[in-house]
Amino acid sequence: MDDKITIALVVCNASFGEIDSNLTAMLGWVEKALAGGAAIVCFPELNVTGYGNKKEMQALAQTVPGFASRNISTMAKNAGLTILAGLAESAPGGRIYASHLVAAPDGTIEVYRKLHLAPPEKSTFTPGDRVPVFNAGGLKFGIQLCYDAHFPELSTRMTAMGAEAIFIPHASPRGDAATKHASWMRHLPARAYDNSVFIAACNQIGPNGNGLSFPGNGVVLGPSGDIIADHLIDKDGILFAELRRENLQWVRKHEMRHFFPNRRPELY
């Protein structure tokens, strides 16, 4: 990564099926991210289509490229920053993926497809089969979606591929923001600490019009598992954090704090 990069995490409502209004709301958040000096802005899981885990997602699923992705790409080009945004992606054969787009200022769009589906999602979505690592603003990063974060091997794989940060957008309901924060603190610091990477997570907030309500919350963790920035209040908002190379290098150059190079994967 470069010497430093500012990222923005959006904690927002994502109305189910209201694609046009969700895209319009995104534009306002992108403008705030730009005003705050962010080079990357990350939205929650499925923020464009809204979240659902039943067959009604079929009618909402978007092709990539397609209407939604073109709109997001235009936003990225006009703002000059990278946008990470989520939607249900339609693919040949009737498959639907829970996907997250990486829309760059140069007009390119890359896609991460959720690899680990929560049990209620398995009848609707198809799991992805590829572990990509992206680059924006000099930062190499991976993306995991919600349930993905519970599988340590995925973070290890991304780190081995050069990831310096992992964005983890959520569509995780139940409880309030403080309860969600406590839940995240059981596993997200471990992903940061074990791999010496930055972790950035954000969640949807409020009722989505499809029987679910989300508590919000956002957090950014440093490569030692410490909290750099958090958003605990029960309202929408944008969370900024500056990721600094010196913080990453301090850990990765410390022989007793950077465990990753001393793994013995041939044994396990």
pLDDT of 2 > 90? The answer is no
CATH of the domain at 242: 3.60.110.10
**Buried/exposed code over 83-109 (b: 16+ C-beta within 10 A; e: otherwise):** bbbbbbbbeeeeebbbbbbbbbbeeeb
Of 55-59, 203-207, 220-224, the range with the lowest mean pLDDT is 55-59
Q: Rounded distance, CA 128 to CA 78, Å?
A: 30
Q: Check the CA dihedral 65-79-11-38 and report its sign.
A: positive
Q: How many CB atoms sit inside 10 A of residue 262's CB?
A: 7
Q: How far apart are CA 37 and CA 233, in angstroms?
A: 23
pTM over 0.85: yes
The pLDDT, as a whole number, for residue 234 is 82
> Stretch 177-195: mean pLDDT, rounded?
96
Q: What is the pLDDT of residue 53?
A: 87
For residue 48, give its domain range.
4-267
Domain count, the chain: 1
Mean pLDDT of the region 98-104: 98
Which one, of 126, 124, 123, 102, lies nearest residue 112 by Cα?
A: 102
pLDDT digits (tens, 9 = 90+) for 71-97: 999 999 999 999 999 999 999 998 999
Which residues contact residue 156 at a Cβ distance below 8 angstroms, ignoring those fewer than 6 apart?
Answer: 194, 195, 263
pLDDT for the residue 57: 93
